[in-house]
């Protein structure tokens, strides 16, 4: 099955498939920087290259992620966005698949902005300092179910990779979108033009930060 979709990722993530309509995907990464109030801390770098500070209460880490991702799940459901999966501290979601929808980009953009607010609320409630990056890209993807045991619905394609790059090359507490996504949302949302940046595996691309609705 194939459609054009929008992918969103926080930490990592975003998916789409290629056929009639367009969809938006998001990729999100959390825990890029984590500091616990009080006590001694040490900096840890994960295999993926993400750094965070560990303190005496590091055992709360899984609980914190659960609260963050549960918050994201509620936001995704409210906007009709499809959660694909989480990978470590990354969250992947998409609009436009498996069911095509003409407002896929708007749904993902609205979700991304609400994710920033929801994330801040979790941090404030826990008295923690933590930031999140979000990246969005729109394009064609291939979607389907793989495996025979513990099978999952997943997405593949360059659109997924670009959504990931939008997140990884973004900035903390910001939503970075590709030129393709901005073109769809132009006139409906406000942007801060970031200009051209070097993106791993993509060369020089033009991006912008999503600020909010017009």
Q: Give the pLDDT confidence of 127-165 residue by residue, as tens digits.
A: 877 788 899 999 887 778 877 777 778 877 888 888 888
Cβ proximity of 18 and 3 under 8 Å: yes
Instruction: Using the structure block, give the residue that is written with the tokens 């290629």.
Output: 18
CATH superfamily of 2-31+62-213: Nucleotide cyclase, GGDEF domain (3.30.70.1230)
Asked if 24 and 5 count as a contact pair (C-beta separation under 8 A), the reply is yes
Q: What's the predicted TM-score (pTM) here?
A: 0.76
Q: Look at residues 67, 115, 95 and name the one whose alpha carbon lies nearest to residue 155.
A: 95
Write the pLDDT tens digit of every residue in 58-103.
444 677 888 888 999 999 999 999 888 887 778 888 888 878 888 9
Report helix, strand and coil shares of the chain as percent, to nearest 5. 30, 45, 30
Contacts of 153 (CB under 8 A, 6+ apart): 84, 98, 143, 144, 145
Q: Tens of pLDDT along 13-72? A: 333 322 222 345 556 665 434 444 444 444 544 444 544 444 444 444 677 888 888 999
Share above pLDDT 70 across residues of the chain, in percent, rounded to a whole number: 71
Question: Quick one: which of 157, 136, 111, 120 has its CA closest to 13?
Answer: 136
| Structural domain boundaries in the chain | 2-31+62-213
Within a 10 A sphere around the Cβ of 122, how many other Cβ atoms?
18
Mean pLDDT throughout 190-199?
94
Over range 185-198, report the average pLDDT: 95
90-95 and 152-156 strand pairing: unpaired
């Amino acid at each position: 099955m194939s459609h054009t979709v929008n992918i969103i990722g926080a930490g990592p993530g975003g998916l789409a498939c290629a056929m009639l309509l367009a969809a938006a995907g998001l990729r999100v990464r959390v825990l890029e920087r984590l500091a616990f109030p009080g006590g001694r801390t040490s900096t840890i770098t994960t295999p993926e290259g993400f750094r965070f500070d560990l303190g005496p209460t590091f055992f709360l880490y899984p609980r914190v992620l659960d609260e963050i991702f549960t918050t994201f799940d509620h936001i995704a459901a409210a906007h009709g966005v499809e959660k694909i999966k989480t990978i470590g501290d990354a969250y992947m979601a998409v609009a436009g698949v498996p069911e095509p929808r003409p407002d896929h980009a708007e749904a993902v953009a609205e979700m991304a902005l609400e994710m920033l607010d929801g994330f801040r609320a979790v941090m404030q409630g826990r008295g923690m300092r933590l930031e999140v990056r979000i990246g969005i890209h729109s394009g064609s993807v291939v979607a389907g179910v793989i495996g025979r045991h513990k099978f999952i619905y997943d997405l593949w394609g360059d659109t997924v990779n670009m959504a990931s790059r939008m997140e990884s090359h973004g900035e903390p507490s910001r939503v970075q979108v590709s030129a393709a996504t901005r073109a769809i949302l132009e006139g409906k949302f406000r942007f801060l033009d970031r200009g051209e940046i070097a993106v791993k595996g993509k060369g020089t691309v033009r991006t912008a930060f999503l600020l909010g609705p017009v």
